[in-house]
Amino acid sequence: MSAALAAIATSAVAGNALAPTLVVNHPLLLLALNTTTRHLVLTSTSVDFVPYLVVGLVRRLLEDPLLFLLGRWYGDDAIGWVDDKVGGGRFLRAVQRNFHWIGWLLVAVAPGGVVCVLAGASRMPAAVFLVLNIAGTIATIVALRRFGDSFAGPIDAAVAFIAENVAVLTAASVALTVAYVLRRRRVRAGASAATLAEGDDES
């Protein structure tokens, strides 16, 4: 499971880094790698609706069942892992305590990694999770497509600007992505060192 999640995360990073080139030349490949809201909007005028929906849906759902199972199998340990990877602290714990009240809404409206892990850890029925997750994701993608149809002119203008400056924008995007990844690694290394130091102090 960890290898699958790492591969999905790597594809997302690659999609982010190469987004300027991909949105101009290979918009469907961009969606296959990384379906952020930004990418769904930018590709909404250049990809036919059916592949847009299918690829967007599959990519957005790709890691959700794995994260749900992670929460189901490992419970609080999985939530601690999420806190370590993406942060959250007290807010994350507050959401966990109230997940039985708001969980269904979060899964339908914002089924990100944290929510999926919490859904599994809270013992939400798998069938309920899947129905809410799929229905909510379809609704989100369709809404973004309609947004793209309504603002096709500005979106096409933005993509045209990217096309005119694709080399510079891609270089900048790669540099920013590398800097972000390196910064995250330094933060994680610092957190791990602090945890080890606390353990030594206690002993």
Calculate mean pLDDT across residues 33-40: 96
In this prediction, what percent of the chain has a pLDDT beyond 70? 88
Q: Provide the pLDDT confidence category of residue 191 given band limits of 50, 70 and 90.
A: low
Predicted confidence at residue 196, as pLDDT, reads 46
In this prediction, what percent of the chain has a pLDDT beyond 90? 60
Mean per-residue pLDDT of the chain: 88
Calculate mean pLDDT across residues 23-45: 97
Amino acid (1-letter code) at residue 18: L
Contacts (Cβ under 8 Å, ≥6 apart) of 31: 39, 40, 43, 47, 52, 55, 56, 59
Predicted confidence at residue 172, as pLDDT, reads 97
pLDDT (tens digit per residue) in 79-96: 777 766 655 556 677 777
Calculate mean pLDDT across residues 123-142: 94
pTM summary value: 0.84
Q: Are 66 and 113 in contact (CB under 8 A)?
A: no
Amino acid (1-letter code) at residue 68: F
pLDDT (tens digit per residue) in 117-130: 899 988 999 999 99
For 90, counting Cβ atoms within 10 Å of its Cβ (0-12 exposed, 13-18 middle, 19+ buried), the class is exposed
Contacts (Cβ under 8 Å, ≥6 apart) of 89: 83
Max Cα-Cα span within the chain: 64
Q: Provide the pLDDT confidence category of residue 112 given band limits of 50, 70 and 90.
A: confident
Q: Are 12 and 33 in contact (CB under 8 A)?
A: yes
1 CB neighbour count, 10 Å cutoff: 10
Structure tokens at 152: 């096709």
pLDDT of residue 181 exceeding 90 = no
Q: Are 115 and 106 in contact (CB under 8 A)?
A: yes
pLDDT of residue 203 exceeding 70 = no
> 3-state SS string over the chain?
CHHHHHHHHHHHHHHHHCHHHHHHHCHHHHHHHCCCHHHHHHCCCCCCHHHHHHHHHHHHHCCHHHHHHHHHHHCHHHHHHHHHHHCCHHHHHHHHHCHHHHHHHHHHHCCCHHHHHHHHHCCCCHHHHHHHHHHHHHHHHHHHHHHHHHCHHHHHHHHHHHHHCHHHHHHHHHHHHHHHHHHHHHHHHHHHHHHHHHHHHHC
Calculate mean pLDDT across residues 143-157: 97
* Interatomic CA distance for residues 104 and 124, integer angstroms: 9
